[in-house]
Structure 1
């Protein structure tokens, strides 16, 4: 059976597309800011994530928001082998 979609590699992220993640909302009781940051991290390359975090902070969002388990996005990202650039971006924005 043939796949319906091809995998997209090195997709171009416009500023508007990056900014659109400020509209991502959880479908459950998770913290909105945590959800936005986590989805951006999971979806974006490090350079796009850096731009997103700039927009996120301009909106006065909580860079230290936590999930239902009490962990912040910085804590989650810091555990990932390829998360160091993302973690650096979060720390530069004031994440602890």
Structure 2
């Protein structure tokens, strides 16, 4: 099950600023842990419902597991997250440099 991370620490762990619309993440190889930085929209919507971020589709997708082959080249860097339509797993996409 997904574990909540202190909101003041998650941006530093992921290595990116929270985005308005996009969920970001980071697979930390030394910890064998994937962290999700939820979008501003997600945080606001979940909070308005009186729930926590474990109710988000991205958290639930993380609970389904990840495909290590897909993540292998994208560990230890911030990535844009998507959810696999086929398996419901959390999927990384390399972020463009600013």
Q: Name the TM tier (shorter chain).
A: under 0.3
Which one has the bigger strand percentage?
2
* TM-score where L is the length of structure 1: 0.23
* TM-score where L is the length of structure 2: 0.22
